[in-house]
Structure 1
Amino acid sequence: MFTKRTSIALACAGIFASIAPSYAQNNSELNPVVVSASRSEQKLSDVISSVSVITKNDIEKTQSNDILSILNSEPGLEISRTGSVGSATSIYLRGGNSNQTLILLDGVPFSGESAAGAISSIEMIPPSQIERIEILRGNASAIYGSGAVGGVINVITKEGSGTPKPNLSLTYGSKNTKNASVGYAGQVEDAKFSISGSKYLTDGFNSINPESFSDVNQSSNGSRNGSLRVNASNHFGAGLVAGINIFSVNTWTSLDGTSSHLDNDSSDRQLRSNTVYLKKNINDQWLTQILYSESDSKSQTYYNQYSMYDSSWNYLGYLTPANSWSNSQDQHQKVSWLNDYEISPSQKINFGYDNQRLKGNSHVSWAGSVDTTRTINSIYSGYSAHYGKLNNQLNLRYDDIQDGESKLTWLVGLGYSLGENWKLTAAKSTAFNAPTGGQLADVSQGGNPNLNAEKSDSYEIGVQYQSANHLMKITYFDTAYQDLIVPGSTFVTPCPFNYCGTYLVNANTASNDGVEIAWRSVGSWGVAKAGLTLQNPMNDATHQMLLNRAKQFGSAEYSKKFSFLEWGAKVSASGYRYTPDAYSGARKRTSGYAIYSTYLSYELEKGLYLKGSIENLFDKNYYQVHGYNAAPQMLFLTLQYQPK
């Protein structure tokens, strides 16, 4: 159950809902256009599946320096981070594992190919580069293919429009945090462009709590992040548009090991994502697109540790250097052909073809090097229509995976209008998560070429309320996971390295059912949003809660603009969860918590703003993962120039 303070925090959602009057407002904030739900443009209120949109205004007004602070308020989405900014992060969507959520950057996947699974380093993306974030909850393999089991998070970077203008933002805050971004964006005749760069530095805080693990380095764990982005497109007439997206980010992070108080680990990571595309209106009904995209993700981790044992595990009685390292590189190349065809004003089909080539390389000092390559060829189609009060969505996809199972997945969704404001929705779908190249071939980590894909079946039922000022959706979901990939009991033999562990196997089944509530209101009185998730994430074999998932979590936020001044406050809360111990891996229960934040913005003159924010307002000491500190109270002051 929740603590008393946590229960009070989650009750804010109901309080906000009860006080909201109705006023006509700009519909783009309340009911924006989304593309992630079907790969075609739809109003959020027309989407059958459970979708959230974090808008540009949401991101800018909260003044978050970290994308995870933006995501942690969304229904169905949980975050676990092992320490300070830049450290390892896991995202659990609808109770699925972190590698079962497909992360996209402008539609481009950048997940890894290691034996840990297809995990993406979303924490590297600076908020200053983001236009909006679309979150699709639940099975989406029928639309996106492998990996879209828990759902999809599509991070969309900024685009240019209007008269060309510069923008600049400078932030200084707690832990010697410095953040700067500069950009120039706009439109000249038929050409749109946006270019920006950012730099972030912080001394951070000690990742591992000495109260839980005494023999660790007590120094702060700092981080550095630098990014560059270019988006450009041109309309050539006759319905032809060409464009390019370029994104690059480098991150260095100090980490703590758990072998001794002298450990001083660190990591260097680089992410590159590039896309070129052509769009052509064949006629008034048919839009076709051809895209080529590639992503390149590199990681180098240095384990600057000390041990009481030598390389043969003989006890020495004193600390001696035991340094090691691991490197990885993952590359995705993708060619896509996408088509939208409007049969009539009430009927639309989409269809297309994807060709993906995935390359992975991992090299660890205590084992060896592994190179993997996979090719995935996919065809897909979708149909959506409105028939009076009824609307539907049908999706079908076939993925042919080299050295793996070929999978057919589907989604069927229905919506029924009960009048001007109310709507019922229902959807049933299948999904899968193919084993990565590392899970198939990396012997040092238990690679097993006989692994099958993880599978998921899900259904959801929802009720939606929409008015001029309010959009609320309550969704019941039920998801079953089969053939989950886990370490087995058989040791790898023969083992060409010092240690290989046990073979990975398809063994576990899991399930999760629950209720999600998402509510947003916009009026002259202000803007309010709230989310609440009540779920039951279980390992079906052991009948225990899945690690790193809480049964209850939620958030509420309110902001109000007074002429030149805007103020807002937010609370995020979670019930208890079980997380692994950093040493033994044993299950440890962490308590529930409620974290408050507040922000303020004052327009000094047209386009020039002075902003301030406080995160973890009451300096709550809490864990997302047992023994790893979460951020303490943090204060930030920002000077921003951003003409409208």
Structure 2
Amino acid sequence: MTISYRRIAIALPVLLLAPAAHAQSAQSTEALEQATRAGDDVIVTAARAATPADTVAQAVTVLDTATIERRQTVVLADLLRQTPGIAVARTGGVGGVTSVFIRGAESDQTAALIDGVKINDPSAPGGGFNFGELLVGNIARVEVLRGASSVLWGSQAIGGVVNMITRQPTDRLSVNARAEGGAMGTGQAFANVSGRAGAIAASLGGGYYTTDGISSYARGSERDGFRHYGGNASVTATLASNVSVDLRGFYANGRTEFDGFPAPNYTFNDTREYSDAEQWVGYGGVNVALFDGALRNRLGYARTDIARTSYDRALTPRETYRSQGQNYRLDYQGVADLGAVARATFGAEREISRLYTRGYGSTDRGRARLFSVYGQLALTPLAGVTATGGVRHDDHDRFGGATVGAASLAWTPNDGATLLRGSWSQGFKAPTLFQLNGSTGNPNLRPERSEGWDAGVTQRALDGALEASATWFRRVSRDLINTRACSPAVDGPICDTRPFGIYDNVARTRAQGLEFALTLRPVEALTVVAAYTYLDGENRSPGASFGLPLLRRPRDSTTVNADYHWPFGLSTGVTLTAVGDSYDVGQVRLDGYVLADLRAALPLSDNIELYARLENAFDQRYLVAVDYGNPGRAAYGGVRLRY
């Protein structure tokens, strides 16, 4: 199946000549701005458009600007760890490879977005996104959508979606900046300026971070540092009352030092290895609203480019591995209001992915094309009832087609005070270019698939002073891709070049559990936010692994954030994180742990604020991955400016 670019080229001028209307296209800059201003009352990720939260049946956690600033978190993964349903495993200190598991799904089954643009790495073996190099920086909002969302977000959204929204353009000149320093030779500075001049609104930002770090090897003595700098930009031009153009960009450059497996024993130990990574994300889109805004259209083009190079100072030449992954995506999306009781979301995407890797004695290249069409219909037959159903079909030039569906129901009998939710969804993940073409590649792979459901309730009471939610979920995943020994009798001559095995659809998992969330404001000055997750994740693959727990995913995890604002302006807070036992490679048991972080902030004026925090206050020693260290007690302080 192929897309007709000629038809799009003909249709777009027709749309531009249509009667004027107010433009607010799905995932447009205006929609992102609206979500940023609205706090957790509006969600843009669940329906790929700004949607009232009490009509969304899937479980979504919103981390708004106020929450992000109050918690003072530097690394985005540490912020995600505090949300229900998420487990995080980092190999070493800041900058180390970081996996984010949503509801027990594999880390590369998480769709990662920057301002609505998918940024998963096509050069990574599993095609996932390394959250270890992503700092909070100028991110103003994070939406975590839990549960399969492949109907709207396509491949990889089996566990869920993490959408990170940077600071968006504002109508008046706005400046946000901060600088801080502290333990382990750590320093950072970030700034963002936004505003409007006539029909042009823009937001520009950048920042720098450096730390000497800790030893990645838990028993090592040599520190492994991390350095990062980057920038973000968002520009929108309003050409008419119903037409706007969006341009967005994101850039990140990082150097991560790490430990490896040196000769002659090839066991994990201190090494002088490091990796350079550079990431570009670019997006351009045209938004057109028709029929007094009843039909909102967006035609966009996005490109992501991720390049990584690894080095070992002990070797000659130093370079050990190089990879580059690129994605080119052209997409159309429409959102139509069909009277007062229905809204349709529909679209088509054309994606081309490229891979280049060099190292360990081989050079691999790969290319794949994917064409997708999707549609979703949301009905409101009665006041307070929203029923949603959708379907998606993807046509891949290597493995053929994949079709998934989803359905959900949200009901609030009392204008949002009580929200009853239920959803069923299928997910899929296309084989990566590495899995299809690499040294263990298999051109006959099928997509990974999942099917699951969840049911939950959210209750608000005491005039907003109490909000509690509970969700039960279950998901079964099949045809998961893993390596096995290559068999000439089964696989044929391909085994002549597959001495280390071959990828195949051989794995199966089951994950089920409970998520609880509580927000309590007993008095205006005190806010308590708590999250608890119970996860029963099990390997269901035939053979010796059947029945074993999923790796690096603890059964129990709890986070409590308590913040108090004192009458004289001082704000103080504490984060308590309790994580239960988990298992790593070889079914090595990792003991659970409890962490305590303290923080304080004091405004000196309306524009200047001093802040400080103490992380891991009790100097807890713990592991989330076998033999990889974690930072001990560390103190930081800084200043924040707002104008």
Report the TM-score when normalising by structure 1.
0.88
State the 1:412 CA deviation.
0.5
* Pair 1:247 & 2:250 matched: yes
Q: What is the 5 A alignment of 1:494-643?
A: 500-521=499-520, 524-541=524-541, 542-563=546-567, 564-580=569-585, 586-643=586-643
- Between stretches 92-101 and 108-117, larger displacement belongs to 108-117
Q: Please list, as runs of the form range in 1=range in 2, the aligned pairs for 1:81-100 lying within 5 A after superposition.
A: 81-100=90-109
Change (3 A) 1:596 1:101: same
Distance in 2 between residues matched to 1:456 and 1:352, nearest whole Å: 23
Q: Residue 401 of structure 1 aligns to which amino acid in structure 2?
A: H
Asked whether the 8 Å contact 1:286–1:339 carries over to 2, the reply is yes
Structure 2 distance, partners of 1:165, 1:438, is: 44
Q: Does 1:229 align with 2:228?
A: no
Query: Is 1:171–1:178's contact at 8 Å kept on the other side of the alignment?
Result: yes
CA contact 2:204–2:233 (8 Å) conserved in 1 = yes
8 Å contact kept, 2:57–2:408: yes
Q: What is the distance in 2 between the residues matched to 1:559 and 1:191?
A: 38
In structure 2, the partner of 1:325 is 320
* Distance of 1:44 and 1:596 partners within structure 2: 32
Tell whether 2:173 aligns with 1:164: yes
Q: Which residue of 1 aligns with 2:262?
A: 259
* Aligned counterpart in structure 2 of residue 272 of structure 1, from 280, 286, 291: 280
Do the aligned partners of 2:122 and 2:327 also contact (CA within 8 Å) in 1?
A: no
2:484 is aligned, of 481, 488, 492, to 488
The residue type paired with residue 624 of structure 1 is: V
Tell me, yes or no, if structure 1 residue 121 matches structure 2 residue 130.
Answer: yes
Over residues 311-366 of structure 1, what are the superposed CA-to-partner deviations in whole Å (9 max), with x where a residue is unaligned? xxxxxxxxxx89661111011111111111111233211111111111111111x2
Post-superposition Cα deviations, 1:251-302, rounded to whole Å, max 9, x if no partner, equal 0011111336562110000111011111111122111111111110111111
Whether 1:477 and 2:486 are equivalent positions in the alignment is no
Query: Is the contact made by 2:155 and 2:429 (CA closer than 8 Å) also made in structure 1?
Result: yes
Superposition deviation, residue 527 in structure 1: 2.5
Q: 2:67, 2:211 → 1: CA distance?
A: 24
Q: 1:58-457 counterparts in 2 under 5 A?
A: 58-114=67-123, 116-210=125-219, 218-259=221-262, 263-284=271-292, 285-304=294-313, 325-364=320-359, 366-386=360-380, 387-420=382-415, 421-442=417-438, 444=439, 446-457=440-451
Greater Cα shift, 246-255 or 103-112:
103-112
Residue 120 of structure 2 aligns to a residue whose secondary structure is coil
SS of the aligned residue for 2:485 comes to: strand
SS in 2 for 1:545: coil
Separation in 1 of the partners of 2:133 and 2:364? 25
Classify the secondary structure of the residue corresponding to 1:624: coil
What letter is aligned with 1:510?
T
- Deviation (angstroms), 1:147: 0.7
Shift of 1:305: 5.1
Q: Which runs of 4+ in 1 moved over 6 A?
A: 27-30, 491-497
2:518 corresponds to which letter in structure 1? Answer: W
**1:455-488 residue CA offsets vs partner (Å, 9 max, x unmatched):** 1000111112134413332111110010111111
Secondary structure of 2:145 counterpart: strand
**Using a 3 Å threshold, how does the CA distance of structure 1 residues 512 and 561 change in structure 2: closer, same or farther?**
same
- The 3-state SS of whatever aligns with 2:70 is helix
The CA deviation string for residues 577-627 of structure 1, in whole angstroms up to 9 with x for no partner, is 0012xxxxx221001111111211111112111110111111110111111
Q: Which has the higher contact order (CA 8 A, sep 6+)?
A: 1
**Alpha carbons 1:405, 1:453 under 8 Å: kept:** no
- Structure 1 residues without counterparts, runs of 5 or longer: 1-26, 211-216, 307-320, 581-585
SS state at 1:61 partner: helix
- 1:639: Cα distance to partner? 1.2
Q: Give the AA of the match of 2:227.
A: R
Q: 1:29, CA displacement in angstroms?
A: 7.0
Which is worse superposed, 112-121 or 325-334? 112-121
Give percent identity, aligned residues only. 23
Structure 1 residues 638 and 496, CA gap change in structure 2 (3 angstroms) = farther
Equivalent residues, number: 589
Q: Distance in 2 between the 1:514 and 1:405 partners? A: 33
Tell me: CA distance 1:188–1:560, structure 2 relative to 1, closer, same or farther (3 Å). farther
Deviations 1:366-418 (A, max 9, x none): 22111111111111111112222422111111111110131111110012334
* Distance in 2 between residues matched to 1:243 and 1:415, nearest whole Å: 32
Q: Is the 8 A contact 2:259 2:270 kept in 1?
A: no
CA shift for structure 1 position 489: 2.2
CA distance in 2, matches of 1:29, 1:635: 33
What is the CA-CA distance between 1:188 and the residue it aligns to? 2.8
**What is the distance in 1 between the residues matched to 2:638 and 2:206?**
17
Q: Separation in 1 of the partners of 2:572 and 2:356?
A: 48
Letter in 2 for 1:281: A
User: Residues 163, 96 of structure 1: CA spacing in aligned structure 2 closer, same or farther, 3 A cutoff?
Assistant: same
Q: Is the 8 A contact 1:29 1:55 kept in 2?
A: no
For residues 24-43 of structure 1, the aligned pairs below 5 Å read 31-43=40-52
State the SS of the aligned residue for 1:621.
Answer: coil
CA contact (8 A) 2:168 2:194 kept: yes
Q: Is the 8 A contact 2:142 2:162 kept in 1?
A: yes
**CA distance in structure 1 between the aligned counterparts of 2:343 and 2:520, rounded to whole angstroms:** 30
Task: Tell whether the 8 Å contact from 1:159 to 1:192 is kept in structure 2 after alignment.
Answer: no
How big is the shift at 1:495?
7.2
Runs of 5+ consecutive residues of structure 2 not aligned to the other structure: 1-35, 264-268
**Counterpart secondary structure, 1:142:** helix
Q: Distance in 2 between matches of 1:62 and 1:169?
A: 14
What is the CA-CA distance between 1:181 and the residue it aligns to? 1.3
What is the alpha-carbon distance in structure 1 between the residues aligned to residue 628 and residue 518 of structure 2?
32
User: How far 1:130 moved relative to its partner?
Assistant: 0.2
Amino acid corresponding to residue 482 of structure 2 in structure 1: V
Give the match's secondary structure for 1:628. coil
Give 3-state SS (helix, strand or coil) of 1:59's partner.
helix
